[in-house]
Every structure is written in structure tokens, then in C-alpha cells.
């Protein structure tokens, strides 16, 4: 049976348009909505345009979510949602996930090295006040979280071609979600001493949305999947992550943003068609 439903095209096109629009609006905001000292200009028109643009993008994705066809079982639950990330005939999904996984692994040394340097330096300082500001522990933990994300994404890519292990691919989303949680705490700590410099806000939101996106992928293997919400979160992850690349503070942050962007694109490529036409339980990979 040749499976071609092409439900992925509206999601990919709308996400690409939303990402380009978000980048342009964010670039305009960064160019005119902040003073030379870094303080935000109150009521800047470009900030209002960015917020309105994101609201429109969210509404478009909500309409796509409502229009997404999903097969239902006799209990009116999504049929085949636990197999939405399993397709031995689709090679795009595992390739994108493997690239995203190795991007996470590439970002880990930046956090681990920086965290280890700060941690070793703080141990040599006897001033408690200086040790309490940044001892490097959260940065080191963010590096460990990046390694966890690598393991989880690589596991999801590996199990894409093993339909016999039904429902297990979703559990790979737990480890990237844990990595995003640690990274979110580290990123917030980095800017918490200067709350007036709120240009780091979009990246915080992008990391938080990606964390919930990975958690929804994990829920696909449970008895309470929310596939439409997963698609919405995946599209918003792409938009928020790409516009956050414009002012990512460190190279490690840029690499992690690229990783979660690729992972979300992979899911937007894989899920819509498999939700519309689920794979049977007896599907086996070709020899």
C-alpha cells in the first residue's frame, strides 16, 4: 500500500512562513526597541508588532490543528497515536532526529567545559557571596542535560524502524524534556541578575515550549496522547527557536536551538500523515 496523504505539507509550509515572519519581526525589534544601555523602550511599535505577529501565527497553527484529520477508535480516541513516530518507509524523520541528536552532543562540551571552569574556580574562592551568584553547577548540569537529549533523540530515531516495539518511541521524549528543563533553569539564572534586560525572554519561551513538546511526544506512548497539541507545540517550537537564534548569548545555546528546531521539523514531517492513516499493528520493516 502506497501511503501518500500529504497532510504534512500545510504544516511545513505554514511553519516555514511563520518562522520567516518571526525572524523578520524579531530583527526589527532588536534594531529599534532597545536603548544603547540594553533597556527596552516602553511601548515600542516593533515590540507590539512582534507580539501581534506571534498571536497571528499561534492562531494559524490552531486552525491547522482543528483541521488536522485524525483516525478515531470506537472510544473516540486517536487511533494509532502510539505508532505516529514509527514508520520504516520514511527515512527523513530518523535522519533529522539523528542530526538533532548529534547537535545536542556537540553542544554538551561548551556547557561542560564552562561549568567545570566556573565550578573549579568557585571552590578556590572563600567569599560566600561570590560563590552564590554563579558557581557553574547549573551550566555543568545543562551539559549533562544535552547528553540526555542526545540519548533520547537517538533512541527515537532508532525505534522509528522497529514497528514491532510498539509505543516505545514516545518514551524517548522524556530525556530531551529533562534536558530542556535543566537548560531553562540555567538560562534563567544567567539573566536573572538583570531582569530589566528582557530581550532574553523569547529564548526562555522557546525552551519552555520545546520542553512541553518533548513531553507530548512521550505521552504518545501512554494512554492519554494529545497528537494535535504535539503538532501545535512542534510548529511553535520551530518559530520561537528560529527567531531566538538572532540573539542567542552563546554558541552552545545556538546549537541547542538548532537541535530542537530540527527535532520539531522531523515530527511535523512524520506525524500528520500517520495520524490521518495510521500504520497497522502488524507492520514490519522491509528486509
**Residue 33 in contact with residue 46, Cβ under 8 Å?**
yes
- Spatial CA neighbour of 237 closest among 57, 48, 51: 57
Coil, helix or strand at residue 284: coil
The yes-or-no verdict on residue 287 having pLDDT over 50 is: no
DSSP secondary structure string, 22-82? HHHHHHHHHHHSB-TTSPBPTT-HHHHHHHHHHHHHHHHHHHHHHH----B-TTSSBTTGG
Look at 12-21, 111-120, 138-147, 220-229 and tell me which has the smallest mean pLDDT.
220-229
The yes-or-no verdict on residue 56 having pLDDT over 90 is: yes
Quote the mean pLDDT of the chain.
82
The yes-or-no verdict on residue 66 having pLDDT over 60 is: yes
Phi, psi for 78 (deg, rounded to 5):
-60, 120
- The pTM of this model reads 0.87
Tell me: the pLDDT tens digits for 179-208? Answer: 999 999 888 887 766 555 566 788 899 999
Average pLDDT (79-92) is: 79
Q: How confident is the model at residue 158 (pLDDT cuts 50, 70, 90)?
A: confident
Question: From the DSSP assignment, how many helices (H) and strands (E) are in the chain?
Answer: 9, 0
Tell me: the pLDDT tens digits for 249-271? Answer: 789 999 999 999 999 999 999 88
Distances (CA, A) of 253 to 18, 124, 169, 197: 22, 28, 26, 18
What's the confidence (pLDDT) of residue 64? 93
**Residue 209 in contact with residue 236, Cβ under 8 Å?**
yes
Phi, psi for 135 (deg, rounded to 5):
-95, 5
DSSP secondary structure string, 90-144? --HHHHHHHHHHHHHHHHHHHHHHHHHHHHHHHHT---HHHHHH--SHHHHHHHH
Amino acid at each position: 500500500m502506497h501511503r501518500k496523504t500529504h497532510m504534512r505539507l500545510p504544516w511545513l509550509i505554514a511553519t516555514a512562513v511563520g518562522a520567516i515572519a518571526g525572524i523578520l519581526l524579531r530583527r526589527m525589534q532588536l534594531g529599534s526597541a532597545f536603548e544603547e544601555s540594553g533597556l527596552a523602550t516602553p511601548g515600542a511599535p516593533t515590540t507590539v508588532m512582534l507580539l501581534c505577529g506571534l498571536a497571528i501565527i499561534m492562531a494559524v497553527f490552531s486552525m491547522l490543528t482543528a483541521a488536522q484529520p485524525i483516525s478515531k477508535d470506537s472510544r473516540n480516541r486517536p487511533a494509532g497515536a502510539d505508532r505516529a513516530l514509527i514508520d520504516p518507509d520514511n527515512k527523513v524523520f530518523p535522519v533529522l532526529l539523528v542530526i538533532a541528536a548529534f547537535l545536542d552532543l556537540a553542544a554538551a562540551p561548551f556547557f561542560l567545559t564552562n561549568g567545570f571552569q566556573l565550578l573549579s574556580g568557585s571552590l578556590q574562592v572563600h567569599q560566600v557571596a561570590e560563590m552564590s551568584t554563579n558557581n557553574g553547577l547549573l551550566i555543568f548540569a545543562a551539559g549533562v542535560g544535552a547528553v540526555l537529549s542526545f540519548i533520547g533523540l537517538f533512541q527515537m530515531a532508532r525505534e522509528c524502524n522497529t514497528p514491532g516495539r510498539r509505543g516505545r518511541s514516545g518514551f524517548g521524549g522524556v530525556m530531551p524534556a529533562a534536558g530542556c528543563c535543566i537548560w531553562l533553569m540555567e538560562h534563567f539564572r544567567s539573566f536573572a541578575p538583570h531582569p530589566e534586560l528582557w530581550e532574553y525572554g523569547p529564548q526562555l519561551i522557546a525552551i519552555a515550549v520545546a520542553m512541553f513538546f518533548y513531553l507530548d511526544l512521550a505521552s504518545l506512548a501512554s494512554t492519554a496522547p494529545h497528537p494535535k497539541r504535539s503538532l501545535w507545540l512542534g510548529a511553535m517550537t520551530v518559530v520561537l527557536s528560529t527567531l531566538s537564534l538572532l540573539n542567542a548569548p552563546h554558541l552552545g545555546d545556538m546549537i541547542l536551538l538548532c537541535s530542537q528546531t530540527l527535532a520539531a521539523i522531523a515530527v511535523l514531517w512524520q506525524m500528520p500523515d500517520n495520524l490521518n492513516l495510521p500504520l497497522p499493528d502488524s507492520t514490519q520493516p522491509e528486509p
